[in-house]
Amino acid sequence: MNNGSNTIIPGRFEGRRALVTGASRGIGAAIARRLGAEGATVAIVYRNRSHDAQEVASEIVDKGGIAFTIQADLAETSDIDAMWKAWDVTSEELLGDNRLDVLINNAGVTSAAPLTEIFEHAYDRVMAINAKGALFAAAEGAKRMTQGGRIVSIGSSAADRPGALNGAYAMSKAALLAMTRSLAVELGQYGITANVVSPGYTRTDNTAHMLTVPEFAARVSELTAMKRFGQPEDIASLACYLASPEAEWVTGQWIEASGGYRLVPPV
Ligand SMILES: NC(=O)c1ccc[n+]([C@@H]2O[C@H](COP(=O)([O-])OP(=O)(O)OC[C@H]3O[C@@H](n4cnc5c(N)ncnc54)[C@H](OP(=O)(O)O)[C@@H]3O)[C@@H](O)[C@H]2O)c1
């Protein structure tokens, strides 16, 4: 039984440069590891967990790749500017210029409250990181891209099938679809694509508290065609395909990687 797709395609990203937000752990770390293993130079962006981010970078470097870390709080546009300045300085030092080929907008937070009880600061935070942060990161990232550039944002199946309690989170992820379609139209003329990968339930720190509740875990498996939870590598697999040169003709799309979550009719 497969527990997460992890088939490395050697050399797929040779000579390409990527920046992955929220890459200190979970889905972002899996994407960064895979990009690094397939030959990309990778910037690992984190908010607090410098040790975890450094570990991901070290794993890539130990296998012969190039990786470095950047600290930034994506809720702050001044930090997003500083993140790109750090990218410019380090990539010019290591590679001679600041070209970027792949931006993975992965950093995200959840918010759980009924819409009738949501606090403004909770709404502002989830929108600032998940939607505004992704847009401003993409705006600056695109300026560093040339023909073949790829922007991949990590959405959520909550965007089109939200459950109770996650209205603000669902709104923030739905915003990524509009953003992505607009980026695709605007940047297509330069040979740059933009797409969204929409994960179903995936085992990370973010979901650990839910997936350890046996009844909840059983319900998620039951509603999933593949009868298991996602692993971060399952999401990395699709994100890396969309980030790769071969995905040139796919743009403005919202693609779910969920093992068929909620395809199974409830009995
Ligand atoms: N796991 C799932 O089931 C699931 C399902 C659907 C969608 N998603 C989406 O997938 C993405 C990754 O989720 P995950 O489960 O892997 O999350 P996670 O394990 O909680 O990791 C979150 C990552 O985002 C970073 N981050 C959080 N707030 C940030 C901020 N303000 N500025 C910069 N970085 C920040 C964290 O950095 P630090 O480590 O430094 O805190 C960490 O690297 C998110 O966009 C999430 O909404 C996840």
Q: What is the pLDDT of residues 172-189, one digit of tens each?
A: 999 999 999 999 999 999
What proportion of the chain, given as a percentage, has pLDDT over 90? 85
Please determine, for residue 199, whether its predicted confidence score (pLDDT) is greater than 70. yes
pLDDT in tens, 51-82: 999 999 999 999 999 999 999 999 999 999 99
CB atoms within 10 A of CB 43: 26
Please report, for residues 2, 102, 113, 133, 254, the alpha-carbon distance to residue 144 in angstroms, rounded to integers and kept in the order given: 38, 10, 38, 17, 24
Q: How confident is the model at residue 115 (pLDDT cuts 50, 70, 90)?
A: confident
Please determine, for residue 267, whether its predicted confidence score (pLDDT) is greater than 80. no
Distance in angstroms between the alpha carbons of the first and the last residue of the chain: 25
Known active-site residue 169? yes
Q: Could you tell me the distance, in angstroms and rounded to a whole number, from the CA of residue 27 to the centre of ligand 1? A: 7
Confirm whether 55 is domain-assigned: yes
Q: Left, alpha or beta for 238 (phi > 0: left; psi -120 to 50: alpha)?
A: alpha
Confirm whether 4 is domain-assigned: no
Residue holding tokens 């089109």?
160
Please determine, for residue 201, whether its predicted confidence score (pLDDT) is greater than 70. yes
Please determine, for residue 2, whether its predicted confidence score (pLDDT) is greater than 60. no
Contact 58, 80 (CB under 8 A): no
Rounded distance, CA 252 to CA 72, Å? 27
Write down the catalytic residue from 169, 201, 241, 261.
Answer: 169
Q: Could you tell me the distance, in angstroms and rounded to a whole number, from the CA of residue 74 to the centre of ligand 1? A: 11
Q: Is 121 helix (H, G, I), strand (E, B) or coil?
A: helix
**Rounded to the nearest 5°, which phi and psi values hold at 236?**
-60, -35
Domain count for the chain, please give it.
1
Q: Could you tell me the distance, in angstroms and rounded to a whole number, from the CA of residue 26 to the centre of ligand 1? A: 7
Buried b (16+ CB within 10 A) or exposed e, 82-102: ebbebbeebbeeeeeebebbb
The CATH number given to whatever domain includes residue 74 is 3.40.50.720
Confirm whether 12 is domain-assigned: no
Confirm whether 1 is domain-assigned: no
Contact 27, 204 (CB under 8 A): yes
- State residue 239's pLDDT score: 98
- State residue 91's pLDDT score: 97
Strand extents, DSSP E, 55-201: 66-71, 102-105, 150-154, 193-199
Confirm whether 196 is domain-assigned: yes
What token pair was written down for 76? 């702050």
Read off the pLDDT of each residue in 134-150 and give the average, rounded to a whole number.
98
Confirm whether 104 is domain-assigned: yes
Length of the chain as a residue count? 267
Q: Whole domain around residue 208: which residue ranges? A: 17-257
Please determine, for residue 114, whether its predicted confidence score (pLDDT) is greater than 90. no
Rounded distance, CA 249 to CA 226, Å? 28
Please determine, for residue 153, whether its predicted confidence score (pLDDT) is greater than 70. yes
Q: How confident is the model at residue 6 (pLDDT cuts 50, 70, 90)?
A: confident
Contact 100, 149 (CB under 8 A): yes
- State residue 164's pLDDT score: 85
Residue holding tokens 């702050």?
76
Burial class (CB in 10 A: 0-12, 13-18, 19+), 22: buried
Mutate to test the pocket of ligand 1, among 19, 20, 21, 25 (most ligand atoms within 8 A of CB): 25
Helix ranges (H only) for 144-196 are 167-187
Q: Which residues line ligand 1 (CB under 6 A)?
A: 21-28, 46-49, 52, 72-75, 106-109, 129, 154, 156, 199, 201-202, 204-207
Q: What is the average pLDDT score of the chain?
A: 95
Q: How confident is the model at residue 4 (pLDDT cuts 50, 70, 90)?
A: low
Confirm whether 48 is domain-assigned: yes
Read off the pLDDT of each residue in 149-161 and give the average, rounded to a whole number.
95
Burial class (CB in 10 A: 0-12, 13-18, 19+), 64: exposed
- Mean pLDDT is highest, among 111-125, 175-189, 251-265, for 175-189
Confirm whether 5 is domain-assigned: no
